[in-house]
Amino acid sequence: MPAGRHAAGCLGALLSGGEPELAAELEPLLAKRWLLIGIGSDLRGDDAFGPLLARTLARRGRPALDAGLVPESYTGPILRFAPEVLILADAAEIGLPPGSLRLLPGEAIAEAGASTHDSALSLVLTYLLAQHEMEVRVLAAQPASRELGEEPGPAMREALHRAAALFKIRED
């Protein structure tokens, strides 16, 4: 199966509790050519969600890039990959308990101001969408803390495990 493609029907079975509605939202997206971009800072506690998820997926051979705090530096690799679906993984204020996960439309970046990286992401997305047609989604994880020098907290570490399971492809 090509990288970035998902076997139909197996995603929901991979979740052991958690966000079944999130799995249902992701399943049709992962059936297309997808790329996950992790955004955030490893130095600010729960803000490390995006980079940690991207590195986890990349180690498993999934199409993922850790853009850290400079997503604008990854426009070339994104455009060369030419995804049908671009998923931005980021810690974001979504008004839910810490560690909650939600899949948001790409427009949520500009409209809701959920991410701490909104202005840079809005510019990057405007540029990318002008160059290549793709669906954009934000996999948002509610942080508890983004204090400098902290490690991700227990709720975010658990969210990272649940999020990684959403992208697992069953080996037949």
The full set of domain ranges for the chain reads: 11-166
For the segment 18-72, what is each residue's pLDDT rounded down to a tens digit? 477 999 999 999 999 999 999 999 998 999 999 999 999 999 999 999 999 999 9
Which pLDDT belongs to residue 15?
Answer: 33
Other C-beta atoms within 10 Å of 147: how many? 11
| CATH, range 11-166 | 3.40.50.1450
- pTM listed for this prediction: 0.82
Nearest Cα residue to 164 out of 81, 101, 86, 96: 101
